[in-house]
Amino acid sequence: MNESCKKDSPQVQFIEIQDEYDGQRLDNFLVSRLKGVPKSHIYRIVRKGEVRVNKGRIKPDYRLQAGDSVRIPPLRLAEPADTAAPSDQTLARIQHSILYEDKGLLILNKPSGIAVHGGSGLSYGIIEALRALRPDAPFLELVHRLDRDTSGCLAIAKKRSVLRSLHELLRTGQVDKRYLALVKGRWRGKGRSVKLALSKNTLQSGERVVRVDAQGKAAESVFDPQNHYSEATLMAVKLLSGRTHQIRVHAAHSGHPLAGDDKYGDKEFNQAMRKLGLKRLFLHAHTLAFQLPETGQKINISAPLNPELQQFLTKLNPLV
């Protein structure tokens, strides 16, 4: 991007849109760029005509084109000191978790305990840490999301064209996502598909929960037992949809809640697993596979199960 002034200077900015941002909505572009400015204020300055594209008034849903000139009025952005930055240890941990990278895509083995993005009281997440690691990168955006306590394959687009392609593959079910999950009890029989529609609800406390609801959005998970233990079963789970908390809710509704799941799980089972050393949710995004339509390139990435989870499994009693 070419800019006529420094980002944090309260002066008019004229930004020339590069290829990486071609096709992005104006409002989303402004939200990602104007850190510290409330969304309500961003929409207000667009509505009042203070933000202009190619010298003309524009609507928030306008899709930017390469070569567009965007005028942004003087704004006082939040000072960097107002927001906690990722520690050097966290940045190094994320850097070492990268599994695959090319010109348009990055896939990492997301550590458990780190959210994919900041917000809701969190100063930063994976995407903010990556941008701190690579301040000169013109484009870094999440392709999909994982729960904060879930580890494993997480894809980051380095080009807007790649982001659009992968979103279309996700929408049409052309991304193969498989997880490893430890569930309560012994899973009887072979693998089976769980088809239960899900809906999001917000409790009075503000906590968001997902429930099985016939009027909700269709969701399907395929559970396939891998190893049986006296206390639990290690499952491979293939997602045929991508709803919030899908595996956790489907497993719990099937009578086999995930180990370490404080929201949908079994309290006594979680306590027993904790005594054996499990300190987190046992859910790991194990593999991610798809084919990029532009190049035909096939991507098939596997994130090894974290050493802490591998070690925990050795403490369980296997069944022959």
Q: Are 166 and 157 in contact (CB under 8 A)?
A: yes
Distance CA 89, CA 96 (A): 11
Average pLDDT over residues 99-115: 94
Residues 238 and 114 in one domain: no
- Residue 82 has a pLDDT of 46
Looking at the structure, do residues 224 and 102 belong to the same domain, yes or no? no
pLDDT tens sequence across 3-35: 444 444 568 889 888 766 777 889 888 887 887
pLDDT of 77 above 70: no
Question: Is 240 in the same domain as 289?
Answer: yes
C-alpha–C-alpha distance, residues 108 and 110, integer Å: 6
Q: 52-80 as b/e, with b when 16 or more CB fall inside 10 Å?
A: bbeeeebebebebeeebebbbeebeeeee
Boundary-marking domain end, from 161, 183, 205? 161
Tell whether 248 and 199 lie within a shared domain.
Answer: yes
C-alpha to C-alpha distances, 279 to 167, 256, 269, 291, nearest whole angstrom:
33, 19, 13, 36
Question: Token digits for 78?
Answer: 């939040």
Q: Which helix (H) or strand (E) holds 127?
A: helix 126-133
> Are 179 and 266 contained in the same domain?
yes
Residue 319 belongs to a domain? no
**Does 4 map to a domain?**
no
Q: Range with the lowest mean pLDDT among 19-28, 55-64, 165-174?
A: 19-28
CATH code: domain of residue 66: 3.10.290.10
Q: Are 301 and 287 in contact (CB under 8 A)?
A: yes
> What are the pLDDT digits (tens) for 154-169?
999 998 889 989 989 9
Q: What is the DSSP string of 42-95?
A: HHHHHHTT-SEETTB---TTPBP-TT-EEEE----PPPGGGSPPPPHHHHHHHH
Residue 284 tokens read as 């790991």
**70 located within any domain:** yes
Q: Which domain holds residue 93?
A: 83-161
Of 161, 192, 212, the position where a domain reaches its end is: 161
User: Tell me, what DSSP letter sits at residue 159?
Assistant: S
For residue 133, the domain's CATH number is: 3.30.2350.10
| 240 occurs within a structural domain | yes
74 and 88 together in one domain = no
Q: Are residues 183 and 233 in contact, defined by beta-carbon separation less than 8 angstroms?
A: yes
Let me know: does 90 contact 27? Beta carbons within 8 Å: no
Residues labelled catalytic: 147
pLDDT value at position 206?
65
Residues 141 and 186 in one domain: no
Residues 6 or more apart whose CB falls under 8 angstroms from that of 68 comprise: 16, 17, 53, 54
Q: Residue 204's pLDDT is what? A: 59
pLDDT at 40: 84
User: In terms of domains, do 188 and 298 share one?
Assistant: yes
Give residue 276's pLDDT band: very low, low, confident or very high (50, 70, 90).
Answer: very high
Quote the pLDDT of residue 197. 95
Query: pTM of the predicted model, to two decimals?
Result: 0.77
Same domain, 74 and 89: no
Tokens of 245: 């908390």
pLDDT of residue 121: 57
Residue 176 makes CB contacts below 8 A (sequence gap 6+) with 238, 287, 288, 289, 290
DSSP assignment string, 271-294? HHHHHTT--S--EEEEEEEEE-TT
Per-residue pLDDT of 289-301, as tens digits, reads 999 888 888 999 9
Mean pLDDT of the chain: 88
pLDDT score at 80: 46
Considering 112, 135, 161, which residue would you say is the last residue of a domain? 161
Does 157 reside within a domain? yes
User: Residue 119: is its pLDDT beyond 80?
Assistant: no
Asked if residue 18 is part of any domain, the answer here is yes
Evaluate if residue 59 carries a pLDDT over 80. yes
State the Cα–Cα distance between residues 70 and 13, nearest whole angstrom: 8
Tell me the β-bridge partners of 222: 193, 238
169 in a domain, yes or no?
A: no
Tokens of 197: 């529609």
On whether the CB atoms of residues 143 and 166 are closer than 8 A, the answer is yes
- 40-44, 49-53, 118-122, 186-190 — most confident range: 49-53
- Does 211 lie in the same domain as 102? no
Percent of residues, the chain, with pLDDT higher than 70: 90
87 or 263, greater pLDDT? 263
Same domain, 154 and 180: no
For residues 216 and 210, give the distance between their C-alpha atoms in angstroms, rounded to a whole number. 10
Do 182 and 308 lie in one domain? The reply is yes
Average pLDDT over residues 60-66: 88
Tally of structural domains, the chain: 3
Confidence label for 78 from pLDDT (cuts 50, 70 and 90): low
Q: What is the arithmetic mean of pLDDT over 254-269?
A: 96
3 domain-assigned: no
Which of 27-41, 72-86, 110-124 comes out lowest in average pLDDT? 72-86
